[in-house]
Amino acid sequence: MTTSAAAESLDPPLDAARHIRYWQRCFHSVLPHHYTSNDSIRLTLGFFIISALDLLTPSSPTPLVPPEDRTRLRDWVLRLQHPHGGFCGSPHHVLPHALTTKFDPDTKTYVARDPSNANIAATGFALLCLGVLAEGEGSDTFRGVDRVRTLTWLKKLQREDGSFGEVLTDDGRISGGRDMRYCYIAAIIRWALGGAEGDRSLDFNVDALVAHIRRAQTYDGGMSESSMHESHSGYAYCAVAALALLDSADPDPQAIPNRYIHAGIPSIPSLIHFLVNRQFVYVGSDDDNDDDNDASNHPLPDMSPLSMSDAAIQMTGFNGRLNKLPDTCYTWWNSGALSLLGESNLINREPARRFILEKTQHRIGGFAKHPGGPPDVYHAYMGLAALATMAGAEGEPGLRLFDPRLCVSADAAARMAKAREAMLRPAENTDDSNSDGDD
Amino acid sequence: MPAKNKAGISKAKEAEAKQQEAAPQPQTVRELEWQRYRSTNPLRKIVEEQGFAKLSPADKRTYLNLELVRTPGQVDKLSKKGQRELWKHLSDANIPLRGTPRPRDDQWGHDKNGRDIGDYTLEEYSAYEQKKSRISELHLESTFFKVNRERADSKTRNEATGEIYTITEDDIAAEKARRQEMASLRNELYGVKTSSYARDPAWDDVVPIPQEEPEGALSAIAYADDYAEAMSYLRAVMAVKEYTPRCLQLTEAIIDMNPAHYTVWLYRFDIVKALNISVPAELEWLNEVSFEHLKNYQIWHHRQQLVDLYYPTIQADAEAVEAFALEEHNFLMQMFSKDTKNYHVWCYRQYLVRKLDLWGSDPEANCVDAMIEQDLRNNSAWSHRFFIVFNNPTLTTPNSLATEHDPLVPEFVIRREIEYAQEKIILAPQNQSSWNYLRGVLIKGDVPLATVFNFVNRFVKNLGEGDGDEEVLSSYALDLLADIYNEAGEKEKADLCLRRLGEKWDRIREGYWTYRRQMLGK
């Protein structure tokens, strides 16, 4: 737990106990039927739940995820691993073992029979989950993960233009759009499993990826889903974080620091300009109707800069695109991106905190998307991520220190780094069954 | 010793029998069972209620002999003489040799509402038994149906009639009705739900594959009705790559409950191809789904795949392409009417422009204009405008980045776009979309920022001349002004702009304006 003079002046403070209750309910009970449409991303939901509890650790005298639970959950995550590389998004995507493998007479090897169940996003979140659930300093974090198969599979998901898809189809094609999120996930997997290590035979085409990201900067400085689409903070974060992870995993000790961030963003000042402009004064009323799609699209113009008032700015929300309403998660995406660009001080922190703590934080804990709305697992996590990131090296009282590259606690990130080291030096381990592909 | 009368029944028992005749009628099944027990085990009743000692010596003997007879294998251990004596005695005692077993409290179990079935009235219990036997009856008929169907499938001949077994539509309808009845009876009696797939004989050949989940799994979901069953059938048919109409329907059901399922869409596309379903027909269905699930991404990916499949078949026919473009356009406008900024729809629109070569299309250009007119702050519309102007293959360099100068773009285009942006800025000076657009155009055309100095200056008056006189109609104008001065080398004026922004005209970004001032020095 961090304390400092600045912590005393934080207004309002985070009511961590309330959030712990919310997350423990999510952890212990079954999610309601509205979440049926999230069935294919249960691994992602699970990540938010356990990582939130991990972040809230300093606020609880006893471990929020006890050791016996950690073992059981690790096993649950590992059961989602596809025998031929990658992870499936949920148990409904895991077939009985006999149906996952077939003999390919052409290559005379066993290959995946249901390749499309292995999903890139699921794989990234699986590794992050294992990081959060790891014990000790983390050498065993990735025990049971098939590093070679996963990295080999990841390579197959990259197209010639450098972008990544979501899954492989049955006939080996890449499916899923050229989404910036997949680029980010690919960078996470590469960092976590050491794709850049050794002879780099397991590494994907980094330069092509950087070129793809580069093409996504828009005329207003932001980054889009992929080339030429509208600028969007979520994709901006994914682009910057992907590049930051390429830098973190850079095997070349002589390399210029942040060379990938510079290579991947044609104009960093323009991107910063875009990101800082996502923050604006919140002037909503108490009867905000967030269910009305149309209302969220037509916010009042931000006339506040032109007002004559000298009053201190009370609350500021963030949007992800120009002229849209504030949404809790964009407080995270924007501050995360700026933090990775080394410019987190450009955010006006106090009003940003106040907006989410007073307007979107819910009575029962968690955060909602819009003021007055119900909390959901995704926005509840992003709210915590935003608070932790904006607090920087000091940390937000009640929360662990945060790693904005991976959107997890710094502890979890450190354990993952340790695990990678352990995987790559099998001679030092007693019974390493990970580092080669034979069965 | 009381006299043994011919019936061998003691007075105590006589009294007991009289008592029983006077006893009230049993109301519940339990009561009935107890009554039967006592009437067929009169001696046991006395032993249980009063103790063995209370029996007369004759009755004690009878009781013990009865126990002997009722214990399997014991009679055979007696000598022949002993057995003769035993039977003679029991025959003289004139007492039932067989009795109903002693009722147990829990022998009827509980119904689905937790009520003890032993407490059912006699009518209720009779109804209950009837339902149970009805289920058995139906089950038997269902078995006959399955046997006949197998015979029909393997074209077996009926030996008696010489005809090959067939299953008619009526047979199937009857079986469906049968299963429906069984399902509702099972639900009534046991609270068990039978999935619609288990009730449908058309799905009998599929062995469903439910998901495997240990207790206490993470992020478990209380699924909506039928989802788990439908998924177990989907997994089974996907595993064998079945491409039939029933599977198409199944994908529709899954998509309705979980449109973000990342493999069902791929599977559906494979079915559409295999069954040669017309793309327009599939698009019609997809349109409905799109209205239902506005934020879903997979829907648009599926649409794109369909268009990729369809386009080569109409490519050669210009009219057909135009008609298709119009239909798509109309549908997109319907989507926009629900949400003018739907990101997926705008991305798909870009795809369509490229695919159908709509760069120079008037409807396309007019539409974007109209959307900007309608809402100057619709940044998606501005973004699309930039796309169709600066990516037009006939007028621009392929692969030119959005952030860089493109020498191929004609001057008239740059001029037109600058004017357009300025027009819109005047209508709403504090709208960043139009200012960003202006900047983007200037960079594309490699036009010095100073070119728009007079225009920008309209929005800023008496800068730095005190709060009373200073007038700023647009903070974005002041931002651009700073860049103009910086480009021209007038660092002090640039600094003034940035300072005033931080101090007054855009105080939220105080830290940013300070940062910009620092950058000026470099």
At residue A199, the pLDDT reads: 87
Coil, helix or strand for A174? Answer: strand
Count CA within 13 A, CB hemisphere, residue A10.
Answer: 24
Chain B hits for A322, CB-CB cut-off 8 Å, are 377, 379, 432-433, 436
Interface check for B240 against chain A (CB to CB < 8 A): the answer is no
Query: What is the spatial distance between Cα B282 and Cα B302, in angstroms, rounded to a whole number?
Result: 10
Q: What is the DSSP letter of A425?
A: -
Q: Write out chain A residues lying below 8 Å of B224, CB-based.
A: 33, 36
Whether residue B434 lies within 8 A of chain A, CB to CB, comes out as no
Q: CB-CB: which of B383, B430, B439 is closest to A301? A: B430
B270 CB neighbours in chain A (<8 A) are: 170
Confidence band, pLDDT 50/70/90 cuts, at residue B379: very high
* Distance (Å) from the alpha carbon of A326 to chain B's nearest alpha carbon: 15
For testing contact with chain A, the best of B508, B516, B517, B518 (most A CBs within 10 A): B508
CA pair distance B185, B135, nearest whole angstrom: 7
Is B23 an interface residue toward A (CB < 8 Å)? Answer: no
Q: Per the structure block, which two tokens stand in for B435?
A: 């200012």
Identify the residue whose tokens are 């793809």: A212
pLDDT for residue B11 is more than 90: no
Return the biggest CA–CA distance within chain B.
138
**What average pLDDT does range B136-143 have in this prediction?**
95
Distance in angstroms (rounded) separating the CA atoms of residues B121 and B127: 10
Choose from B215, B221, B480 for mutation: most chain A CBs within 10 A.
B221
Residue A255 confidence (pLDDT): 83
Q: Which amino acid is at B352?
A: L
Mean pLDDT of B442-460: 97
Q: Does B361 touch chain A (CB under 8 A)?
A: no
Q: Residue A346: which of A357, A358, A337 has the closest Cα?
A: A337
Find where tokens 């961590």 sit.
A16
- With 0-12 CB in 10 A as exposed, 13-18 as middle and 19+ as buried, what is A31? buried
Specify the range with the lowest mean pLDDT, choosing from B149-158, B272-281, B499-508.
B149-158
Of B217, B259, B401, the CB nearest to A217: B401
Distance set, CA B399 to CA A219, B177, B414 (Å): 14, 63, 18
CA–CA distances in Å: residue B401 to residues A160, B405, B418: 18, 8, 19
- List, as ranges, residues 189-218 from B with C-beta within 8 Å of A: 209, 211-214, 216-218
Element (H, E) at A408: strand A408-409
Query: A288 to chain B, minimum CA–CA distance in Å?
Result: 18
Residue B398 touches chain A, beta carbons under 8 Å: no
Pick B222's closest partner by Cβ from A32, A37, A49.
A32
C-alpha–C-alpha distance, residues B140 and B120, integer Å: 27
Q: Above 50 in pLDDT, residue A6?
A: no
Q: What is the pLDDT of residue B231?
A: 97
In angstroms, the Cα distances linking B469 to A304, A309, B174 are 19, 16, 90
Task: Tell me the pLDDT tens digit for each residue of A109-156.
Answer: 999 999 999 999 999 999 999 999 998 888 999 999 999 999 999 999
Identify the residue with better confidence: A381 or B188: A381
Mean pLDDT value of segment B261-289:
97
Spell out which residues of chain B touch residue A283, defining contact as CB-CB under 8 Å: none
Q: Report angle CA A111, A115, A119 to the nearest 5 degrees.
A: 135
Phi and psi angles of residue A103, each rounded to the nearest 5 degrees, phi first = -90, 130
> For residue A131, what are its two tokens?
């990081």
Q: What does the pLDDT look like over B34-74, one tens digit per residue?
A: 999 988 888 888 888 899 998 899 889 999 998 888 888 88
User: Closest partner residue to A298 among B266, B375, B436, by Cβ?
Assistant: B375
Residue of B244, B243, B267 lying closest to B255 (CA atoms): B267
Q: What are the residues whose beta carbons fall under 8 Å from the beta carbon of A358, sequence distance 6 or more?
A: A12, A315
Residues A68-99: pLDDT tens digits?
Answer: 899 999 999 999 999 999 999 999 999 999 99
What is the number of CB-based contacts under 8 A between chain A and chain B? 222
Residue A317 has pLDDT above 50, yes or no: yes
Task: Among A415-429, B120-134, B391-405, name the one with the lowest average pLDDT.
Answer: A415-429
B223, A92: Cβ pair inside 8 Å? no
- Interface pTM, i.e. ipTM: 0.91
Mind giving me the DSSP string for B190-226? Answer: H-PPPPTTTT-GGGTT----PPP--TT-TT-B-PPTT
Minimum-distance CB partner of B428 among A30, A219, A301 = A301
Residue window 241-300, chain B: list those with CB within 8 Å of chain A.
241, 257-263, 266, 270, 294, 297
Distance CA A18, CA A31 (A): 18
**Helix (H) and strand (E) counts in chain B:** 22, 2
Three-state SS string over B341-407 comes to CCHHHHHHHHHHHHHHCCCCCHHHHHHHHHHHHHCCCCHHHHHHHHHHHHCCCCCCCCCCCCCCCCC
Predicted confidence at residue A198, as pLDDT, reads 84
pLDDT for the residue numbered A8: 47
pLDDT-derived band at A296, boundaries 50, 70, 90: very low
Cα of A27 vs its chain's centroid, Å:
19
**Alpha-carbon gap, residue B320 to B326, rounded angstroms:** 10
User: To the nearest whole angstrom, how far is the Cα of A270 from the nearest Cα of chain B?
Assistant: 9
Query: Can you list the positions of beta strands (E) in A15-144?
Result: 87-88, 101-104, 109-112, 118-119
Residue A340: count of CB within 10 angstroms of its CB: 22
Q: Which two tokens stand for residue A270?
A: 């323009």
Q: Are the beta carbons of A94 and B211 separated by less than 8 Å?
A: yes
Euclidean distance between CA atoms B205 and B149, whole angstroms: 11
Q: What is the pTM of this model?
A: 0.85
The two most distant CA atoms of chain A are separated, in Å, by: 77
3-state SS track over A114-145:
CHHHEEHHHHHHHHHHHHHHCCCCCCCCCCCC
* Residue A12, preceding peptide bond in cis (omega within 30° of 0): yes
Instruction: Say yes or no for a CB contact (<8 Å) between A218 and B402.
Output: yes
Average pLDDT of the residues in B362-366: 89
pLDDT digit string, tens, across residues A373-400: 999 999 999 999 999 999 999 999 999 9
Of A36, A40, A232, which has the smallest distance from its Cβ to B223's Cβ? A36
Is residue A215 helix, strand or coil? coil
Q: What is the mean pLDDT of chain A?
A: 89
CA–CA dist A74, B373 (Å, integer): 55
User: CA angle at residue B126 from B178 to B97, to 5 degrees?
Assistant: 125
- Check CB contact under 8 Å for A343 and B515: yes
Confidence at residue A435, expressed as pLDDT on a 0 to 100 scale: 45
Separation of alpha carbons B42 and B55, rounded Å: 11
Contacts of B238 in chain A (CB under 8 A): 114
